[in-house]
Amino acid sequence: MKKIFFTILCLGLLPLSANATVIDVHSTSSYGVGGGVAQGRAQGILVNSNFSVSAIGIYGNLVAQSFDIVVYSSINGHSAGSVLASASALAGGTGLGWNNIAFNFNFLAGNYYVVNWRPTAVNSNWGSLDYYRDNVLPQIVGPLTLVEGFSGFSAIGAANTLHPRLGYVTGVSDVPEPAMFGLFLLGLIGFGISRRKSI
């Protein structure tokens, strides 16, 4: 009995990040790091083959605060339609690098989407971002084609000439799932019961 509970305990401690990969999406024409961002920045994409994400990140030096990811439908990748999904979380404050928000979503082949990263508070100064130019778009990156860059809280400014660097995290993320916490807790309880009986 002790061996069974010990096995459950060990399973609860196993990491889940082995299969996670990042699709690093941006054009080949770098603009550099720009600061003073006041609203959202987005990418218009066409999905060439199905893929699922567990998180979406943005590359930059963000001020620590709450941020949103909003995925919109789109008819051509150049305009945002209705909201399909969204998520919010605290991010930033760690210097220049990737800032990820857990976000489970299935991107379906043949569909256009607009993916927007923005501060939760409208017109909030959210730091600086790594920008790329739109003048070389469209560009195929992995399972998708990058079509357009947007600015604005609701991704309405497709007339801008830049887009952010977004990372689409596929596979399993580093964030432990509730089921694993349940297994871990079950293992601890079982281990405690077995110790108590042996005393």
> Which residue matches tokens 């790329």?
132
160 found inside a domain: yes
Both tokens of residue 53?
A: 């994400």
pLDDT of residue 146: 98
Please give the pLDDT value at position 103.
96
The rounded distance, in Å, linking the Cα atoms of 113 and 80 is 8
CATH number at residue 28: 2.60.120.820
Domain annotation covers residue 125: yes
Q: Are 70 and 99 in contact (CB under 8 A)?
A: no
Burial of 53 (0-12, 13-18, 19+ CB in 10 A): buried
What is the β-pairing status of strands 144-151 and 41-47?
A: antiparallel
The reply to whether 8 falls in a domain is no
Residue 143 within a domain = yes
| pLDDT at residue 125, rounded to an integer | 85
Domain range enclosing 82: 18-175
Question: How many distinct structural domains can be found in the chain?
Answer: 1
62 within some domain: yes
pLDDT in tens, the chain (199 residues): 545 444 444 444 444 444 689 999 999 999 988 876 668 999 999 999 999 999 999 999 999 999 999 999 999 999 999 999 999 999 999 999 999 999 999 999 999 999 999 999 888 888 899 999 999 999 999 999 999 999 989 998 887 799 999 999 997 544 444 444 454 445 545 545 555 555 5
Residue 47 domain flag: yes
Q: What is the pTM of this model?
A: 0.77
Could you tell me if residue 69 is inside a domain? Answer: yes
CB contact set of 110 (below 8 Å; sequence gap of 6+): 47
For residue 176, the model assigns a pLDDT of 45
Q: Classify residue 1: in a domain, yes or no.
A: no
CA–CA dist 154, 166 (Å, integer): 17
